[in-house]
């Protein structure tokens, strides 16, 4: 169990009606949208170096696996063959290039990289291919601006009506849309971070420091480092943008 189990549980919790297809070893065409079910996509961005087992689990549970440019290297090192590499392809090393060519991985090249990061381009591409749920596997411990851009891609996904979660293979972050259930273990850390000036009507269950119709203001750290008291926790809110970060202990 542990991390992988946690991610899997979260993935299942996020979706419902999951049909496990597994991830093909050498993809020809992604099955995206084929069987009529909700398409689950995985977007692999550059880094992190760790979390390879978690990445393989996520890939196995995804219908569509996209590597955002340099993310192809992360995929290769984890032994995950993406359906497609998306981006301006300026960050691909020669070894990964050859590896992808041998496996006939498609490339979706976007010339004007400065209009969006490769991760955002990959998000659009996932949406175009019918994704309704997206996992972003990426660096949340590298350059600050890139970390933040990955977090805020969750808002871009929301605009595209895609349920999105960001993970580095350990912590998972997502926007609470009215109601969220966290599946994990007693002792896990759950942090609530207001991303709008104010978040209202926050009620929690299964956390050591509970809130009852509470208010969190942006900049307040009151919602940080709460602790799960059971294997499930619940967070509801009535208004505002709240980021939930779940870090297994």
Q: What are the residues binding its own copies (CB under 8 A)?
A: 114-117, 119-120, 140-149, 151-159, 168, 171, 173, 189, 191, 193-195, 209, 217-222, 224-226, 243, 245, 247
Shortest Å, Cβ 140 to its own copies: 4
Paired strand residues for 107: 85
Nearer to its own copies, 105 or 136 (CB): 136
Shortest Å, Cβ 88 to its own copies: 12
- 54: which 2 tokens? 């978690």
- 133: which 2 tokens? 């749920």
For residue 48, cis peptide bond before it (omega within 30 degrees of 0) = yes
Shortest Å, Cβ 106 to its own copies: 23
Nearer to its own copies, 195 or 232 (CB): 195
Nearer to its own copies, 101 or 209 (CB): 209
Question: Phi, psi at residue 57, to the nearest 5°?
Answer: -60, -45
Shortest Å, Cβ 96 to its own copies: 21
Nearer to its own copies, 25 or 115 (CB): 115
Nearer to its own copies, 77 or 148 (CB): 148
Shortest Å, Cβ 114 to its own copies: 5
């Amino acid at each position: 169990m542990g991390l992988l189990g946690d991610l899997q549980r979260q993935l299942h919790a996020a979706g419902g009606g999951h049909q496990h297809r597994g991830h093909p070893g050498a993809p020809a065409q992604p099955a995206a949208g084929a069987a009529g079910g909700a398409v689950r996509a995985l977007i692999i961005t550059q880094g992190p170096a760790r979390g390879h087992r978690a990445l393989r689990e996520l890939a196995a549970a995804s219908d569509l696996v996209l590597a955002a440019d340099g993310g192809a290297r992360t995929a290769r090192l984890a032994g995950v063959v993406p359906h497609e590499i998306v981006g301006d392809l300026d960050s691909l090393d020669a070894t990964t290039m050859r590896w992808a060519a041998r496996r006939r991985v498609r490339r979706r090249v976007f010339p004007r990289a400065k209009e969006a990061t490769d991760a955002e381009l990959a998000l659009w591409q996932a949406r175009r291919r019918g994704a309704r749920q997206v996992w972003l596997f990426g660096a949340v411990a590298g350059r600050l601006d890139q970390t933040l851009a990955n977090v805020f891609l969750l808002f871009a996904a929301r605009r595209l009506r895609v349920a999105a979660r960001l993970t580095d293979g350990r912590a998972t972050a997502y926007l609470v849309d009215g109601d969220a259930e966290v599946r994990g273990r007693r002792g896990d850390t759950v942090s609530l971070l207001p991303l709008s000036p104010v978040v209202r009507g926050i009620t929690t269950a299964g956390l050591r420091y509970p809130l009852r119709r509470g208010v969190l203001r942006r900049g307040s750290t009151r919602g940080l480092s709460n602790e799960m008291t059971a294997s499930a926790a619940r967070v509801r809110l009535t208004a505002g943008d709240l980021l939930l970060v779940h870090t297994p202990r």
